[in-house]
Amino acid sequence: MSGSDKKGFHYQKTDFVVRSSWADGEWSPLELHGDDTLHIPLAATALHYGQSAFEGLKAFRQPNCSVSVFRPLENAKRLRTSCERICMAQVDDQMFLEAIDLAVKNNWEHIPPAEDGSALYIRPFIFGSGPTIGVRPSDNYEFVIMVIPVGSYYDPKSQGATAYIAENYDRAAPKGMGHVKAAGNYAAGLLPTKLAKSNGFDMVLYLDAKTRQNVEEFGTSNFIALTEDGKYITPDSGTILPSITNDSLIQICKDKGITVERRAISVKEISSLKEIGACGTAVGITPLNEIYRGEELAWKSKVPVAESQLMELLKDLQGIQRGQSTDPHGWRHNISAP
Ligand SMILES: Cc1ncc(COP(=O)(O)O)c(C=O)c1O
pLDDT tier for residue 3 given thresholds of 50, 70 and 90? very low
Query: According to the model, what pLDDT value does residue 285 have?
Result: 95
The per-residue pLDDT for 5 is 44
Distance between CA atoms of residues 159 and 154, nearest Å: 12
Q: Which atom number of ligand 1 is nearest to the Cα of residue 247?
A: 9
Indicate if the pLDDT at residue 330 is higher than 70. yes
Is the pLDDT reported for residue 311 higher than 60?
Answer: yes
Of residues 158 and 190, the one with the higher pLDDT is 190
**Does position 117 have pLDDT exceeding 80, yes or no?**
no
Judgement on whether residues 127 and 166 belong to the same structural domain of the protein? no
Separation of 24 CA from ligand 1 center, angstroms? Answer: 32
140 and 177 both lie in a single domain: no
280 CB near ligand 1 (under 6 Å): yes
> For position 158, what pLDDT does the model report?
76
User: Is the per-residue pLDDT at 253 higher than 70?
Assistant: yes
Distance (Å) of CA 295 to CA 109, 265, 278: 47, 21, 22
Our count of domains for the chain comes to: 2
Half-sphere exposure (Cβ direction) of 176: Cα atoms closer than 13 Å: 18
Q: What is the pLDDT of residue 1?
A: 38
**Is residue 4 over pLDDT 90?**
no
pLDDT at 153 over 60: yes
Task: Give yes or no: residues 181 and 133 share one domain.
Answer: no
Asked if pLDDT for residue 110 goes beyond 80, the answer is yes
* Centroid of ligand 1 to alpha carbon of 280 (angstroms): 5
Instruction: List the domain range (segments joined by +) for residue 243.
Output: 161-307
* Whole-angstrom distance, CA of residue 185 vs CA of residue 206: 12
Distance (angstroms) between ligand 1 centre and the Cα of 156 equals 19
Give domain status of residue 334, yes or no.
no
Cβ pair 220, 153 in contact under 8 A: yes
d(CA 73, CA 80): 11
Ligand 1 pocket, residue 248 CB under 6 Å: no
**Residue 157, C-beta contacts closer than 8 angstroms, at least 6 positions apart:** 289
Lowest-pLDDT range of 44-58, 102-116, 147-161, 196-210:
147-161
Query: Are 321 and 60 in contact, with CB atoms under 8 Å apart?
Result: yes
39 and 115 co-located in one domain: yes
Whether 244 is in the pocket of ligand 1, judged by its Cβ within 6 Å, is yes
Q: Is 193 in the pocket of ligand 1 (CB under 6 A)?
A: no
Answer yes or no: do 133 and 183 share one domain: no
Max alpha carbon distance in the chain (Å)?
58
**Is 138 part of a structural domain of the chain?**
yes
**CATH number of the domain within which 25 lies:** 3.30.470.10
212-235 mean pLDDT: 98
Q: Report pLDDT digits (tens) over 43-53.
A: 999 999 999 99
Question: Considering just the CA atoms, what is the radius of gyration of the chain in Å?
Answer: 20
Decide if 185 contacts 50 (C-beta within 8 A): no
Q: pTM for the full model?
A: 0.96
Q: Are 204 and 219 in contact (CB under 8 A)?
A: yes
169 and 108, same structural domain? no
- Residue 243 Cβ < 6 Å to ligand 1: yes
Predicted local confidence at residue 2, as pLDDT = 41
- To the nearest 10 degrees (0 to 180), the angle between helices 72-85 and 244-256 is 140
In a domain, 325, yes or no: no
Mean pLDDT of the chain: 95
Question: Which of ligand 1's atoms lies nearest the C-alpha of 55?
Answer: 14
Tell whether ligand 1 has an atom less than 6 A from the beta carbon of residue 217: yes
Tell the residue nearest (CA) to atom 6 of ligand 1. Answer: 280
Is residue 179 in some structural domain?
yes
Q: In angstroms, rounded to a whole number, what is the distance separating the alpha carbons of residues 1 and 150?
A: 13
Q: What is the mean pLDDT of residues 291-299?
A: 96
Report if residue 314 sits inside a domain: no
Does a structural domain hold residue 66?
yes
Best residue among 71, 75, 171, 221 to mutate for probing ligand 1's pocket (most ligand atoms within 8 Å of CB) is 221
Which ligand 1 atom sits nearest the alpha carbon of residue 185?
A: 1
Considering the domain architecture, whether residues 165 and 241 belong to the same structural domain is answered as yes
Cα–Cα distance for residue pair 3/147, rounded to 1 Å: 11
Residue at which a domain ends, from 131, 150, 169: 150
Q: What is the CATH number of the domain that holds 216?
A: 3.20.10.10
Is the pLDDT at 269 greater than 50? The verdict is: yes
Structural domain includes residue 55 = yes
3-state secondary structure the chain: CCHHHCCCCCCCCCCCEEEEEEECCEECCCEEECCCCCCCCCCEHHHHHCCEEECCEEEEECCCCCEEEECHHHHHHHHHHHHHHCCCCCCCHHHHHHHHHHHHHCCHHHCCCCCCCCEEEEEEEEEECCECCCCCCCCCEEEEEEEEEECCCCCCCCCCEEEEECCCCCCCCCCCCCCCCEHHHHHHHHHHHHHHHHCCCCEEEEECCCCCCEEEEECCCEEEEECCCCCEEECCCCCCCCCHHHHHHHHHHHHHCCCEEECCCECCHHHHCCEEEEEECCCEEEEEEEEEECCEEEEECCCCHHHCHHHHHHHHHHHHHCCCCCCCCCCEEEECCC
pLDDT of residue 6: 52
| Residue bearing the CA closest to ligand 1, atom 1 | 220
